[in-house]
A and B are shown apart, each in its own frame.
Chain A
Amino acid sequence: SAVISQKPSRDICQRGTSLTIQCQVDSQVTMMFWYRQQPGQSLTLIATANQGSEATYESGFVIDKFPISRPNLTFSTLTVSNMSPEDSSIYLCSVPFGNTIYFGEGSWLTVV
């Protein structure tokens, strides 16, 4: 399985600010995925990040709010823009492995 590292692991952010989360994988992968987990909720896919092309966003998520970069096959970033308390969540980077997916350690964001 791949080793997936995320930074920051936790942060407390002021509303109206933006934060960029980094995801580093120890092997080259074609697709990387960003999920969100709101408190007490299940996981929801934000977008698929493919190297060399724009990210594909799921319904309810837009590029202006969650811009994503994928500069190479081992790295991606997710920015949460103009944060509000509703953005307080765990943000998870994931990569496919076989017929399933593995998650990074997650980034816990609290917006105050």
Chain B
Amino acid sequence: GQSLEQPSEVTAVEGAIVQINCTYQTSGFYGLSWYQQHDGGAPTFLSYNALDGLEETGRFSSFLSRSDSYGYLLLQELQMKDSASYFCAVRDADSWGKFQFGAGTQVVVTP
């Protein structure tokens, strides 16, 4: 089976940096994805890592270490609009498109 663990909540002030960790257990690995979901909205794709290292997209970066079964999402220069839930997800080994999601991390940005 597969499982993912991520913190339930992180609080930070505007302008700060937040790191959301995700550890996973999978029978086969096809990359780690990250999604953002605002209250009342649908999840939107943020990033995908298949290989070790850091991927940067603007203020957000995502890191993967396959040997450690670990990844993180880094949110820099936090803005109020970054207050949302963030989910890590891995693809099922047997089904393209079937993803297992973590429980989600609620990021609260304060003034």
Interface size, A (range) = 20 to 34
Number of A-B contacts (CB under 8 A): 60
Contacts of B104 in A (CB 8 A): 42
The answer, yes or no, to whether A105 is at the interface (CB within 8 Å) is: yes
Query: Is B48 a contact of A100 with CB atoms below 8 Å?
Result: yes
Query: Is B31 a contact of A99 with CB atoms below 8 Å?
Result: yes
Query: Is A33 a contact of B30 with CB atoms below 8 Å?
Result: no
The answer, yes or no, to whether B97 is at the interface (CB within 8 Å) is: yes
With beta carbons under 8 angstroms apart, the residue of B30, B33, B42, B99 that contacts A90 is B42
- Count residues of B near A (Cβ-Cβ below 8 Å): 23
Question: How far is B22's CA from A4's CA once the two chains are assembled, in angstroms?
Answer: 28
Contacts of B103 in A (CB 8 A): 41-42
Q: Known: A43-B87, A100-B33. Contact between A48 and B95, CB under 8 A?
A: yes
With beta carbons under 8 angstroms apart, the residue of A1, A48, A105 that contacts B97 is A48
Q: Which has the most chain A C-beta neighbours within 10 Å: B42, B48, B87, B97? A: B42
Question: How far is B99's CA from A31's CA once the two chains are assembled, in angstroms?
Answer: 13
Query: Is A31 a contact of B97 with CB atoms below 8 Å?
Result: yes
Q: Known: A48-B98, A99-B31, A101-B97. Contact between A92 and B91, CB under 8 A?
A: no
Question: How far is B48's CA from A44's CA once the two chains are assembled, in angstroms?
Answer: 19
B interface SS class: loop
CB distance from A2 to the nearest CB of B (A): 11
Contacts of B42 in A (CB 8 A): 90, 92, 103-106
The answer, yes or no, to whether A45 is at the interface (CB within 8 Å) is: yes
Contacts of A58 in B (CB 8 A): 98
CB distance from A49 to the nearest CB of B (A): 10
Closest partner residue, chain A, to B43 (CB atom): A103
The answer, yes or no, to whether B102 is at the interface (CB within 8 Å) is: yes
Question: How far is B30's CA from A37's CA once the two chains are assembled, in angstroms?
Answer: 23
With beta carbons under 8 angstroms apart, the residue of B48, B87, B97 that contacts A94 is B97
Question: A residues near B, CB below 8 A?
Answer: 1, 31, 33, 41-45, 48, 58, 90, 92, 94-106
